[in-house]
Every structure is written in C-alpha cells, then in structure tokens.
Homo-oligomer: A and B are copies of this chain.
Amino acid sequence: MPDAASSFNVLLTGFEPFENDPINPAWEIARALDGWQHAGATVRGVQVPCVFGRAIEALDEAMARWQPRLVICLGLAAGRSEMSLERVAINVDDARIPDHAHYQPVDVPVVPGGPAAYFSTLPIKAIVRDLRAAGLPGAVSNTAGTFVCNHIFYALMHRLAQQGMGSEPVRGGFIHVPALPEQAARRPGMPSMALETQVQALRVVISTALAVSEDVREGAGQLH
C-alpha cells in the first residue's frame, strides 16, 4: 500500500452516451478503470456531458476535486479501428451536428484569444510503441476533429499550459477510441474493438504515461 504522501490521482474522463446510442466506450473505459491503482496512482473515472462548454465545466470540477498529476480525456471516434493518440488540439469549434443541448457552434474559438493549438503532453510515441508491443492496435492521429472531443482536449491543454512554475507540471492529452462491437452491430461496415481490449489498452497508456517522462522519437507521421 502506498503511503499517503506518495499516492496521487490520474483523472480519466469519458463522454456520456451520445445521441440515441445507449452506450459510449469512452465512459465505459473510465468507469471500468475507476479506482484502479498502479505505480502509486489511483485512477479517477469521471463522466462528462457531450455539450460544448458544459464538458469543460465538468472537467474543471473534476480537476479541482482530484488534483490529478495526469489527465487523459477519452472520446468515441466511430469509424476508427484503433486507439488514436491525438497529437494536437486546435482552437476552433465547428460542429457538423448539434451537441446534446442542441448547440451547434460554427467557427468560434474554444478559448477566445487562445493560441491556435496545443500539443498533447502525453508521450504519444512511447505509448503507441508499448500498445503495439502488447498486441493492441494504436496510432498517432494528427486531428481530433472540431467537435466536443477537440473542444475538451483544447480546454484541458489550455489549463495545463497556465500552470505555475513551482510544481511538477501536470501532463495530459486526448485519446479517440473505436466503437464497441454492439455499436458496430447496428452500423454495418463500422470497425469496432471489444471493451476488454479497450480497457487493457488504457492500462498500457496510463502505465507508459506514468513511466516515460521524455517521449521517444519514432516516426509516426502522416504524409498528408
């Protein structure tokens, strides 16, 4: 058992089920890992609403409550087949469909006056390396889209960039996850990944994020 002084929290957020779908793997993963202890850390799984603005408020509350040293936000990317380690969050909301509160922002900044983008501070290359070594499909992605997922990702990185210099910096990032088989069963042709596989992948993600302070340099770029 870790002594109180050395134990700390890892915040893992997942969006609520979206639209008419009764389930969202992002939240199921966070729920499954809530309370998991690893390398002195305890995972805190928190559900966030699929609503512009309110998602950020929920993130802020959870960060205030748990004072995490590591924050990983999860969101569903229906149509992708592997764990997507997002590289960059951009300062724009451009919703192709309305969110859960019927709000559909188009070309407005997530944070007015904020920089155009932030890079993830997770060791995304080391994580992809370790996922693959464990037989789990993962890849770096260069776009998190322009919907609520990118929205919470940008807000997270903006908050983390404001940290004071005195303390050890909190790291964070965003991961897009595939649909569950039961979701794909309703949408022919959609790739999926079993919840158990997804949860196993997040264990690797958290373990590597806690262990690797300087990311490795391994080519994982896209030509376009």
Contact = CB atoms under 8 A, between A and B. Distances in A.
Interface of A: 75-82, 84, 87-88, 90, 92-97, 104, 106-107, 115-119, 125, 131-132, 134-139, 142-147, 149, 176, 181-182, 184-186, 188-194, 196-197, 215, 217-224
| Shortest beta-carbon contacts, A-B, top 7 | A94-B221, A135-B182, A117-B117, A191-B191, A146-B221, A77-B224, A81-B191
A224 B80 contact: yes
A23 to B, nearest CB: 10
Query: Quick one: copies of this chain in the complex?
Result: 4
A184 B82 contact: yes
A87 to B, nearest CB: 8
Greatest chain B CB density within 10 A among A132, A136, A194 is at A194
Contact of A147 (B90, B92, B134, B222): B222
Nearest to A184: B137
Given A94-B221, A96-B223, A97-B223, 5 more contacts: A78-B224, A90-B119, A106-B217, A131-B185, A136-B182
Contacts of A189: 81-82, 139
Contacts of A186: 132
Greatest chain B CB density within 10 A among A134, A192, A221, A224 is at A224
Greatest chain B CB density within 10 A among A78, A119, A222 is at A222
A139 B187 CA distance: 10
Greatest chain B CB density within 10 A among A97, A106, A115 is at A106
Nearest to A131: B185
A224 B185 contact: no
Contacts of A197: 181, 194
